[in-house]
Amino acid sequence: MSVDDRMRQMSGQWFHALGISQEDFAANPYAVYRRWQDQSPVREIAPGRGRWMVLGYQQVRTALTDPRFIKSTPPSYPIPESYQHLPEMAPSMLVVNPPAHTRLRSLVTRAFQPRHLERLRPFISALADDLLDEMSRQSSSDLVEDYALPLPALVIAELLGVPQQDRPLFRRLSQKIALMVDPTQSADVRQAGATARWQLLDYFHTLVQRKQDEPCDDLLSDLAAGRDHEGSALSAGELLTMALLLLVAGHETTANLISLGAYRILSTPDALYELRGHQASYSDAVEECLRFESPVQLDGRMAQDDAVLGPTLIPQGASVTLVLAQANRDPVAFANPDSFDIHRNPNPHLAFGRGIHMCLGSSLARMEGAIALEHLLSRQVQVAGPALYQPNVLLRGLRHLPVKIS
């Protein structure tokens, strides 16, 4: 059974255990999570099998920062025969622990500091306008496919240094890969995503070699030339894995922030009026969008020692699912948690996680989200059909949102 088939099977089992359809859960997972948290903020979900779920804000935050809860490295998969020329893939920074995680993160952290990202602001603004101009020439368009998905993919392309002539290919492959992580997609769509993943890795392999010979002012050149504190460089496999991670981690999640945020604001007249009238900031609106509709709903850890969360003992070796979505709606941490309030302050949500695995690209995602929403809402936007949610328990997002833009 492939990893995608396992994901699909796990999603089916999840919905069956909840006693709810995928469509109903996708429309409102928060009612289910709230009911569970009311029973217990930490609960065993597979008695006797070492699987636990954590829903309370304080307990989730503790698990994100407590070194006793670590990432579990998934198994590696063989390289297809037609891509045997590629180096052996290394585990992603997303799933390794110190000291390997510390080394990998140190090599890329500098590029994601806010002052370095500011140079992307004019590019993101121009790109948003270009995409919206194209949408306005159509009688109807899809906010997800025509705006929310291509914008972050092309921003990552700019950051990595993908040549302009290659960006249409990069965009097509990126969007296919984004669908691969949705276990509810058809087998053909997920297989196309898997194929696109290897095609993009092959593309990165060639591009990295070019950057090593002729470095440019971009992140891929910096990664190829970078050294850690011991003078060690990224291996060829680590370089490819890092490039793919930066794309995957920064693509669909940011697209979901843009599409969910736009839909929520367009559905909340007071928020729309205040943003258009400059009575509220887009930065604050993005923070509330992240809290209210967390693009990443779940995170996972493994207990490497016995650990206590609240009153509950989590035994060594247990698998722990952290429900970021419910932590961000915990009434203990947020007043009126089910109300969308763009003036909420403070707003200590956990959408980007906490601790050593906190999202590296959080500053970039915030910038993209604020720019994308501001440029979109400066136009006359009309929702032209029902929003269709992805029935995916891990990533919260829209699959389609028909709109008309003038």
Render pLDDT for 31-58 as a digit per residue (tens, 0 to 9).
989 999 999 999 998 777 889 999 999 9
Residue 179 or residue 302, greater confidence: 302
CATH of the domain at 384: 1.10.630.10
pLDDT beyond 90 at 328: yes
Q: How many structural domains comprise the chain?
A: 1
| Cβ-proximal residues to 250 (8 Å cutoff; 6+ apart), any chain | 152, 155, 156, 361, 364, 365
pLDDT value of residue 116: 79
pLDDT value of residue 228: 65
Sign of the alpha-carbon torsion through 109, 223, 298, 262: positive
pLDDT beyond 70 at 11: no
pLDDT value of residue 387: 95
pLDDT value of residue 28: 85
The percentage of residues in the chain with a pLDDT greater than 70, rounded to a whole number, is 92
Which of 154-168, 181-195, 238-252, 341-355 holds the top average pLDDT? 341-355
pLDDT beyond 80 at 158: yes
What is the rounded distance in angstroms from the CA atom of residue 363 to the CA atom of residue 169? Answer: 26
- Across residues 309-324, what is the average pLDDT? 94
- Across residues 153-166, what is the average pLDDT? 92
Render pLDDT for 283-295 as a digit per residue (tens, 0 to 9). 999 999 999 999 9
What is the rounded distance in angstroms from the CA atom of residue 342 to the CA atom of residue 27? Answer: 21
| Cβ-proximal residues to 231 (8 Å cutoff; 6+ apart), any chain | none
pLDDT value of residue 183: 60
Domain that holds residue 319: 3-405
pLDDT value of residue 390: 82
What is the rounded distance in angstroms from the CA atom of residue 118 to the CA atom of residue 113? Answer: 9
> In degrees rounded to 5, what are phi and psi of residue 24?
-65, -40
Query: What residues form DSSP beta bridges with 321?
Result: 53, 300
Model confidence band, residue 378 (pLDDT cutoffs 50, 70, 90): very high
Render pLDDT for 195-212 as a digit per residue (tens, 0 to 9). 999 999 999 999 999 999
pLDDT beyond 60 at 6: no
pLDDT value of residue 25: 77
pLDDT beyond 60 at 69: yes
pLDDT value of residue 2: 43
Render pLDDT for 162-184 as a digit per residue (tens, 0 to 9). 999 998 888 888 878 877 766 66
> In degrees rounded to 5, what are phi and psi of residue 254?
-70, -40
The chain-wide mean pLDDT, for the chain, equals 89
What is the rounded distance in angstroms from the CA atom of residue 123 to the CA atom of residue 152? Answer: 11
Model confidence band, residue 4 (pLDDT cutoffs 50, 70, 90): very low
The gap from C-alpha 131 to its chain's centroid, in whole angstroms, comes to 21
